[in-house]
Copies of this chain bind each other. A is one copy, B any other.
Amino acid sequence: MTKEKIAIVKIGGNIIEDEVVLKQFLQSFSKLEGKKILIHGGGKRATQFASKLGIASKMVDGRRITDKETLEVITMVYGGLVNKKIVAQLQANNTDAIGLTGADINSIQSEKRPVKEIDFGFVGDVTQVNHHGIDTLMTAGFTPVFCALTHDGNGQLLNTNADTIASQIAIGMSEIYATSLYYCFELKGVLNDIKDKESVIQKINSKTYQELLAAGTISAGMLPKLENCFDALQKGVQEVLIGNTTLLSKENNLHTKITL
């Protein structure tokens, strides 16, 4: 039996920052036919609010530490401000959206990252995606909109990377659906030369990925995203594309397609 199609779409922080770009993007998302799920981060808004509240961003080896106060800001900004604004805009587009964290309908459980050299604080690594629960919402006609928060099942919310949430949801949904995963961000795709925005690498597979890695072509920021892409493909996701906000429109002809 052919599986029904589903689109899992992740939007990055720079799209959320710009109200005009976000609005246009959400219109493209609403026009996308069939079942779909949106995942967003919060990006700079959280840092801005933390700074206004006098909470310093704590970084260790270039990675953010989520202490109790930072988790509160993230819960407010990701789960409240950004998520609900997106839901309200999608409703205006006649997309019957429902905003979720991993705690809602126990959709994404995670465990607090164990303390090794670094204590990341309230950061969760995904352990389980409740794809049946999420499917129940979609079958009822609702379009889930996830922010980058999960929970441990014992009452604790945890900060989880939005790219990872997207790939984990895509993997979970691929049990039921033929799943496409779209990573939309400010660039047209993975670049050969970070200074040339047009130098999009149109196809990357496991072999060429290793070559790009060896050549130092992939920027540090792209590494975790690409690891998520390959993880998704290895675990049943059918299609993974990386591109800018035009990725969802039929006119788009420049993006990066990841294959195994």
Binding site for B on A (CB under 8 A): 49, 52-54, 72, 75-81, 83-85, 87-89, 91-92, 96-101, 103-106, 133, 136-137, 140, 142, 149, 151, 153-157
Contact = CB atoms under 8 A, between A and B. Distances in A.
A104 B86 CA distance: 10
B92 A154 contact: yes
A72 B81 contact: yes
A103 B79 contact: no
A41 B260 CA distance: 49
A108 to B, nearest CB: 11
A154 B96 CA distance: 13
Contacts of A85: 75, 157
Contacts of A155: 88-89, 91-92
Contacts of A53: 49, 52-53
> Taking each of A80, A156, A157, which has the highest tally of chain B beta carbons within 10 Å of its own beta carbon?
A80
A118 to B, nearest CB: 24
Copy number in this complex?
2
Contacts of A91: 103, 106, 151, 153, 155
Contact of A103 (B87, B100, B101, B105): B87
A99 B104 contact: yes
Contacts of A88: 101, 103, 151, 155-157
A23 to B, nearest CB: 8
Nearest to A143: B105
A53 B53 CA distance: 6
13 contacts: A52-B54, A75-B85, A76-B81, A79-B83, A80-B81, A80-B84, A87-B103, A88-B103, A88-B151, A88-B155, A89-B155, A96-B106, A137-B140
Contacts of A81: 72, 75-76, 79-80
A54 to B, nearest CB: 7
A157 B84 contact: yes
Contacts of A78: 80
A104 B141 CA distance: 12
